[in-house]
Structure 1
Amino acid sequence: MQVINILEKLISYPSVVGSANDEIVGWIKTYLQSHGAAVTVLPGPEGDRANVFATFGPRDVPGYILSGHMDVVPAGEAGWNSDPFQLHRDHDALFGRGTSDMKGFLACALATAAKISAMPLVRPIHLAFSYDEEAGCRGVPHMLAHLPQLCAPPLGAIIGEPSGMRAILAHKGKAAARVTIRGRSGHSSRPDLGLNAIHGATDVLIAARDAAAELAKGPFEATFEPPYSSLQVGTVRGGQAVNIIPDLCEVEFEARAISGIDPSNLLLPVRQAADALKSQGFSVDWTDMSAYPALSLPENAALAALLARLTNNEPLAAVSYGTEAGLFQQAGVDAIICGPGDISRAHKANEFILVSELAACQSMIESLADHCLTL
């Protein structure tokens, strides 16, 4: 199948984050097996979602991983000019949810399967397709836990997030959490009889604001914009009416960390402020929503040099968005970002990728296969 036909098929599966993905997993499995790949489907603990791991070449020799996620963000935003789950072509542009982020990369990897399967690979090429990346990289840790049983220690992983086919060496880590504060409802004329959950949440909001101000003072890492770790309040929900004492308030926070800092630790001042509310009679629940570490691949790493050669471009130092690459690095696998499309097109109406970008990605993967013909 041509890469555009494969992308059309992938887009037709509405594999929205947090939903069952058995249809797209089944199609990918059948397609890869038809081209001689050794395929393992790895169900997650949710029961209705799975990762896919496939190998071309010898499993017992160190090789390379092509990594991407099968899930996409919802497509309910206004402004779509075509069905987001039906690929629409307009000259060189291919429109649809996930075209750039990141089914375009998956399509390129699958489109090269026929050619790669016929090659006498000395080093293997693995495909690692995950689920629920858009919910904070929830699927890939379950696949990484099985990696020692799936293949020899890899030489590197190429995470195909949209980067304009420029390799990227680093990104920040991220952690997100939700605090749920429960007080006591009542009529607003008798605040002495109630316990205002929104008032309680203000202590937590102030703690988040103050923590963010402290982070802006450093430490610094010049490759990032901004060059320091950050923290913000993302959502606040609470209250029913102005004359009702709110008995519930939920606040969601996000922290992004420079290299060498655990992003979850950046949320500790917020959690301490939330826990302190218990002494005032509030019920407080803290929920960790997602977390992944920063990526930091040295400029002189062999994987960086390889991608410079495969793309004919020197790698970029860093990007502001996050990927699964940090989790691969944490698992002991050198990782780098390189994929077709542009992150600025993602998560918005009329997401698209260019046919020329798909061609460049296929060329990179085929060059990687040529590299794997010798030790």
Structure 2
Amino acid sequence: MQVIKILEKLVGFPTVVGTSNADIVAWIRDYLQIHGIAVAVLPGPEGDRSNLFATIGPKEVPGYILSGHMDVVPAAESGWTSDPFRLRAETGTLFGRGATDMKGFLAAVLASLPRLTASPLRRPIHLAFSYDEEAGCRGVPHMIARLPELCASPLGAIIGEPSGMRAIRAHKGKAAARLTVRGRSGHSSRPDEGLNAIHAIANVLSRAVAAADRLTQGPFEHVFEPPYSSLQVGIVKGGQAVNIIPDSCEAEFEARAISGVDPTALLAPVREAAETLSGRGFKVEWQQLSAYPALSLPPDAPLAALLEELTGLEPLPAVSYGTEAGLFQRAGIDAIICGPGEIGRAHKPDEFILADELVACQAMVEALGERCRA
């Protein structure tokens, strides 16, 4: 099947998050141009990574966006039974890094091009392929900012994250930050002559734990599991040896927010506690690593009805993982999640997708094309 051949090519590009994606962008651009589709390659500020935007049909008419990311998480973990960047097929099961998250969706979209371009569309279908989604949706904001010059205001965006081809209307927002505290080193026998960065950051960690405990008391949004916003300390590292006063310590924090709550605001108590350390002689650096808003599409939204029509399945209310969908919604574009594969297969060894799932996704995209042609 052509969709499998395309997926094999895409998986072969080791587009690990935070690295150059020039090769995959060039291949997709050339593939689209072969089918007579106008393509805009949109370099990001990093210099070695780009978003890609393409339009099938009249760009001056409101249409629909098919959105997916080209990057994947690293594949250095043990447990792979074959080369993660070489697609392996076993009786309809296709193994490889990104097969489910989310190059399977990209392959299904690209395999649909012959049908989508067979005759003119009355409403356009746009392809919005981003970079560094796995680092907290860092690439797509640059593309969203340029949409007004690329197309008429879209009717909706379908984000093809793995959902078992059942549309999903909501997810939590997320923010992550790194705190670095620098003190003064010295011999552990003279703690009075040093500034212990680990001791200093312990107060900040306690503040984070207390804030996390308070969030369990609400507010609540019961479509989610858990039904409240959350905060956690994910990484703490510092020190060299037990007899050396640690002159630096680093911690990373993550917050996930229900609808209507700013995830960056959830980290504010932690940042405030960190900033008090400056008055005690420590150097404090707070770096926001990523942030994206929650998605909340009403059940009666036209986009939800469209996806139910295209898939034959009633949309699910919500999922726990995050996507780029909230960023499209914040820009005034209705967004929904729907893609092949299951999220439980992602980010682990021997990630896989089923050939039948690719076929189902391709059928959905082609059905959207017929809807836009009518």
Whether 2:348 is the aligned partner of 1:372: answer: no
In the alignment, the residues of structure 1 paired with residue 360 and residue 117 of structure 2 have an alpha-carbon distance, to the nearest angstrom, of 20
2:115 counterpart residue number: 115
Count residues with an aligned counterpart. Answer: 374
In the alignment, the residues of structure 1 paired with residue 90 and residue 9 of structure 2 have an alpha-carbon distance, to the nearest angstrom, of 17
Residue 118 of structure 1 deviates from its aligned partner by: 1.4
2:141 counterpart residue number: 141
Letter in 2 for 1:204: V
1:155 counterpart residue number: 155
Residue 119 of structure 1 deviates from its aligned partner by: 2.2
Q: Secondary structure at the match of 2:126?
A: strand
Q: Spell out, residue by residue over 1:71-112, the C-alpha distance to the aligned partner (whole angstroms, 9 max, x if none).
A: 000000000000000000011110000000000000000001
Whether 2:224 is the aligned partner of 1:220: answer: no
Could you tell me which runs of 5 or more consecutive residues in structure 2 were left unpaired when the two chains were aligned: none
1:324 counterpart residue number: 324
1:268 counterpart residue number: 268
Worse-matched range after superposition: 81-90 or 112-121: 112-121
Map 1:328-367 → 2, pairs under 5 A: 328-367=328-367
Q: Secondary structure at the match of 1:237?
A: strand
2:73 counterpart residue number: 73
1:201 counterpart residue number: 201
In the alignment, the residues of structure 1 paired with residue 119 and residue 113 of structure 2 have an alpha-carbon distance, to the nearest angstrom, of 10
Q: Spell out, residue by residue over 1:33-54, the C-alpha distance to the aligned partner (whole angstroms, 9 max, x if none).
A: 1101110000000000000000
Residue 339 of structure 1 deviates from its aligned partner by: 0.1
Q: Secondary structure at the match of 1:102?
A: helix
1:171 counterpart residue number: 171
Map 1:2-13 → 2, pairs under 5 A: 2-13=2-13
Residue 373 of structure 1 deviates from its aligned partner by: 1.0
TM-score normalized by the length of structure 2: 0.99
In the alignment, the residues of structure 1 paired with residue 156 and residue 149 of structure 2 have an alpha-carbon distance, to the nearest angstrom, of 17
1:38 counterpart residue number: 38
Q: Spell out, residue by residue over 1:228-251, the C-alpha distance to the aligned partner (whole angstroms, 9 max, x if none).
A: 000000000100000000000000
In the alignment, the residues of structure 1 paired with residue 88 and residue 167 of structure 2 have an alpha-carbon distance, to the nearest angstrom, of 28
In the alignment, the residues of structure 1 paired with residue 55 and residue 113 of structure 2 have an alpha-carbon distance, to the nearest angstrom, of 10
Q: Spell out, residue by residue over 1:265-302, the C-alpha distance to the aligned partner (whole angstroms, 9 max, x if none).
A: 00000000000111111110000000000000000000
Q: Spell out, residue by residue over 1:173-224, the C-alpha distance to the aligned partner (whole angstroms, 9 max, x if none).
A: 0000000000000011110111100000101100100000111110000000
Whether 2:180 is the aligned partner of 1:180: answer: yes
2:251 counterpart residue number: 251
2:62 counterpart residue number: 62
Letter in 2 for 1:57: G
In the alignment, the residues of structure 2 paired with residue 143 and residue 120 of structure 1 have an alpha-carbon distance, to the nearest angstrom, of 26
In the alignment, the residues of structure 2 paired with residue 199 and residue 42 of structure 1 have an alpha-carbon distance, to the nearest angstrom, of 45
1:296 counterpart residue number: 296
Alpha carbon RMSD of aligned pairs, Å? Answer: 0.6
In the alignment, the residues of structure 2 paired with residue 62 and residue 43 of structure 1 have an alpha-carbon distance, to the nearest angstrom, of 25
Residue 363 of structure 1 deviates from its aligned partner by: 0.6
In the alignment, the residues of structure 2 paired with residue 185 and residue 286 of structure 1 have an alpha-carbon distance, to the nearest angstrom, of 21
1:313 counterpart residue number: 313
Q: Secondary structure at the match of 1:100?
A: helix
Structure 1 runs (4+) deviating above 3 angstroms are none
Q: Secondary structure at the match of 1:189?
A: coil
Residue 114 of structure 1 deviates from its aligned partner by: 1.5
Q: Secondary structure at the match of 1:372?
A: helix
Letter in 1 for 2:47: G
Q: Secondary structure at the match of 2:146?
A: helix
Letter in 1 for 2:282: F
Residue 312 of structure 1 deviates from its aligned partner by: 0.3
TM-score normalized by the length of structure 1: 0.99
Q: Secondary structure at the match of 2:305?
A: helix
Letter in 2 for 1:70: M
In the alignment, the residues of structure 1 paired with residue 35 and residue 65 of structure 2 have an alpha-carbon distance, to the nearest angstrom, of 18
In the alignment, the residues of structure 1 paired with residue 328 and residue 107 of structure 2 have an alpha-carbon distance, to the nearest angstrom, of 21
2:106 counterpart residue number: 106
Letter in 2 for 1:198: I
In the alignment, the residues of structure 2 paired with residue 218 and residue 282 of structure 1 have an alpha-carbon distance, to the nearest angstrom, of 34
Letter in 1 for 2:192: D
